[in-house]
Chains A and B, each alone.
Chain A
Amino acid sequence: MERADREGRGLSDLRDLIDASCPGAVVDEIESHGELTIEIARERLLEVARFLAAPPAAFRLLSDVACADFPDEPGRFRLAYQLYSLDSGARVRLRVWAGADDPEVDSVVPVWPTANWHEREVYDLMGVRFRGHPDLARIAMPDDWEGHPLRKDYPLGGEEVTFTDAV
C-alpha cells in the first residue's frame, strides 16, 4: 500500500512537471507492471523531449526507441521511447502515435544523438519517417529494398528468396 502511494505520487509529479512547462502535451498516462507510460501528442514530442532531457527531469539517457504496428488503430504506429535517468535510476516511457497515413514524427536526434540509429531502424522496418533526421537511410535491410518488413501487413514467409541471383 505504501509502495503504491509512493509510486502514485512519483507519477503525478512527472506529469505535473510536463504539464507545467508544456501545457496540453500530455494526452494520457498509464501505469502498469510498475512502469510508467506517458502519451504525448504527436506534434509536441520534440518540445517534451527537450524538457525531459534537461534538469529538473534530467532523463539524459535515451535507452531505446521501438515501434509497434496496430493496423486497426487510428494512429496505427505506436512509438515507445524508453528514457532513463542516470541520477535517480527512474525510467519512463513516452508514447506517440505516428498516424496511419504518411506516418511522421519529429526526430529527437537534436536532443539525444543516440536516436539516430534507432530512428533509422524504425524507418527501415516500420516505414515511420522522422522529420529533421540527419541521415534517414535504411539500416538493416538492403538500400533498395521495397516495403517495411515489420509492418503487420507485410507477409512472414512465402516471399521470394533474395540474393539467389548472386550465386
Chain B
Amino acid sequence: MPSDEAGVGGGFPIASEARGVLEAARREGRALTETERAIAQIEAFTPEEAEARIRMAEAPPEDPGIRRPMVINLGPQHPSTHGVLRLITELDGEVILDIHPIVGYLHTGIEKQCENKTYWQAVTLVTRMDYLSPYFNTLAYCLAVERLLDLEIPDRAKFLRVIMCEVNRIASHLVWLGTSGLELGAISAFFYTYRERDKALDLGEMISGERMNTRYFQVGGCAQDMPDGFEGELRRFIGEMPSRIDEYEQLLSNNQIWLDRTRGVGILPVDELIGLGVTGPALRAAGVAHDLRKAAPYSGYEHFDFDVPVATDGDVYARYTVRIREMRESVRIIEQALDGIPEGRHIADDRKVVLPPREELAVSMEALIHHFKLVTEGFHVPAGEVYAAVESPRGEMGCYVVSDGGPKPYRCHMRDPSFVNLQALRPMAKGSYLADLIAMIGSMDNVMGGVDR
C-alpha cells in the first residue's frame, strides 16, 4: 500500500498523526515525548531521527522471524472503553507490555468558556463535564463560589442537595455496574440496573425538569423545593432499592465467571495508588477509608449516620463490592435526610445573589430591578481563590475558582476524579492479559466527559 504524500508512517490513521507530532516537536524545537513516540510509533527522540527511522521502516524487514511486540490501537471508538478513550497497546502474545492512554477527544474547553460566562451561567456548563454525576459537578462549583461570597446556605437546601447527590450516586453506580457487567458478558445485569437508573433519572426530572445535566443546584441553594408527589416517589424508590441491590448481587456476587474475571485483577499497592492521586471507591477497595463526606464534611454530611465501605483486596472484585455497599449507604442517607429535612427556604434569601421569586416580579419594583441586574450583569464575587471538594461517585471532585472581583469567574478549574484515576490504568495493566484490561477500565469507572472537559 503506498504511503501518504509526506512519506511518513505506514498507513491510516497513524501516518497523519505521526506527521502532526513531528511537526509540533519541530516547531517547538524539542524532542518527542513518550506519548508522542507512542502515537507516531517511532522510537526516536528528535524529529530528524524519527524521519530516518520511518524511511528505514519502509524498506522490507530483513528477518521475517524477528519477534516484535504487536501494537493494537484500542479505541477511541470501542464499546468497552467507556466513551472515547484510546489505548495504544503493545502486546507480547496476550500479555500487555505497555499501554499509552490518549485522551482529549471530548475536550470542549468548558473551563475557558466559564471565563466568558457569569457565575450563574457557568453552572450550566460545569454540569456537563462528568455527565454521569451532574449534581456533584455543580455542587463542587457552587460550594466554591458560595465560599468566595461568604454566603450562608439554608439547612433545607443542604438536605435537598444531599438527597439529590445520593440519588445521583446510586444512578452513577448503576451505570457503572450495568456497563461493567455488559463488558464481561453478564448482559442481564445491564437490563436490571438500567431499570432502576431510569427511576433515579425520573426523580431528577420531577425535581428539576431535566433527567440529565440538571442545573438544580444554584449558587445559594437549589432551584426549587420538592414538588408535590416527589417525596412519595423517592420513598418508593429507596424502599425498593435494597431488594434490587440484592438482585444484582444474586446475579453477580457468586457468579463463577464474574469471580474469575474480577478476582486478583488490577491490583496496585496502596502507596502507588495514593501517589497516583487515586481517590474514591478504587482507593477504598484497597483498604484506605478515605471519604470526603467523613474526612471534610460539606453540605451537612456530618448530620448523617452512614458507614464508609472498605475492602482490602484492591482488585476489580473489591471495587465491585465497595460500590455495591455504597449504594446501600446512599439509601440510608436519603432515608435520614427525608425524615430529618428541616422546614425553611430551599435557597438563600440574598437578593444580590439569588433571583427573587417569580410571583414577586409582577408586584414589586425592587424584585424586578434585582432580577434585571442578576440576569443581565450577574452578581459580583469578591476577589480571591478557593478550592472546594466533594466526594463524587468516582472520588474527589474539586473545583478551583479564582475571582478578580467581577461577575465572571477569572479562572474555573475542575479537578475531575476520572482524569486523575485514569493515570493508574497504565501501571495496573502492565504485565496483565489484554482481556483483563477491559475489566480494569470498567472497574475504574472513568467518565471521559470528565476526563477531557
Contact = CB atoms under 8 A, between A and B. Distances in A.
A5 interface: no
B400 A137 contact: no
Nearest to A114: B277
A62 B277 contact: yes
B57 interface: no
Interface string A128-143: 0000001111111111
B429 to A, nearest CB: 16
A41 interface: no
A142 B34 contact: no
Contact of A80 (B276, B396, B400): B400
A16 B384 CA distance: 24
A14 B274 CA distance: 22
Given A33-B147, A86-B288, A143-B36, A114 B20 contact: no
Interface string B134-169: 000000000000011010000000000000000000
Interface stretch (B72-80, B359-367, B413-421): B413-421
B400 A82 contact: yes
Given A64-B400, A82-B400, A150-B112, A117 B419 contact: yes
Q: Identify which of B147, B276, B384, B452 gathers the most chain A CB atoms within 10 Å of its CB.
A: B276
A36 to B, nearest CB: 11
Interface in B378-432: 384-387, 389, 396, 398, 400, 402, 410-411, 413, 415, 419-420, 422-423
A66 B277 contact: no
A60 B274 contact: yes
A118 B109 CA distance: 16
Interface residues of A, number: 45
A91 B277 CA distance: 14
B103 interface: yes
A134 B277 contact: no
A113 B415 contact: no
Contacts of A156: 112-113, 115-116
A33 B19 CA distance: 49
Contacts of A146: 27
Given A35-B387, A143-B21, A144-B21, A61 B277 contact: yes
Nearest to A120: B35
B160 to A, nearest CB: 24
Contacts of B396: 63
B33 interface: yes
A143 B175 CA distance: 32
B104 interface: yes
Nearest to B115: A156
A86 B274 contact: yes
B111 A150 contact: yes
A114 B420 contact: yes
A35 B399 CA distance: 14
B20 A61 contact: no
Contacts of B115: 156
B350 interface: no
Contact of A139 (B103, B277, B278): B103
B104 A135 contact: no
A140 B400 contact: no
A149 B114 CA distance: 13
Interface string A85-97: 0100101010000
Q: Is the interface of A mostly helix, strand, loop or mixed?
A: loop
A121 B279 CA distance: 19
Contacts of A141: 104, 107
Contact of B413 (A66, A89, A145): A66
Interface in A19-78: 32-35, 37, 60-64, 66, 68-69
A69 B23 CA distance: 27
B269 interface: no
A63 B34 CA distance: 24
Interface string B20-58: 110110010000011110010000000000000000000
A123 B353 CA distance: 35
Given A64-B413, A82-B398, A156-B116, A117 B387 contact: no
Given A63-B398, A156-B112, A82 B20 contact: no
Contact of B423 (A61, A114, A125): A114
Contacts of B398: 63-64, 82
A136 B33 contact: yes
A114 B275 contact: yes
A61 to B, nearest CB: 6
Q: Identify which of A112, A113, A145 gathers the most chain B CB atoms within 10 Å of its CB.
A: A113
A83 to B, nearest CB: 10
B290 interface: yes
Contacts of B420: 114, 117-118
A134 B296 contact: no
Contact of A37 (B33, B36, B385): B385
A154 B296 CA distance: 37
Contact of B296 (A61, A89, A138): A89
A1 B434 CA distance: 59
5 contacts: A62-B277, A82-B400, A114-B275, A117-B420, A138-B104
The 4 A-B residue pairs with the shortest CB-CB distance, nearest first, are A114-B277, A144-B20, A64-B415, A135-B34
Interface of B: 17, 19-21, 23-24, 27, 33-36, 39, 103-104, 107, 109, 111-113, 115-116, 147-148, 150, 272, 274-279, 288, 290, 295-296, 384-387, 389, 396, 398, 400, 402, 410-411, 413, 415, 419-420, 422-423, 452-453
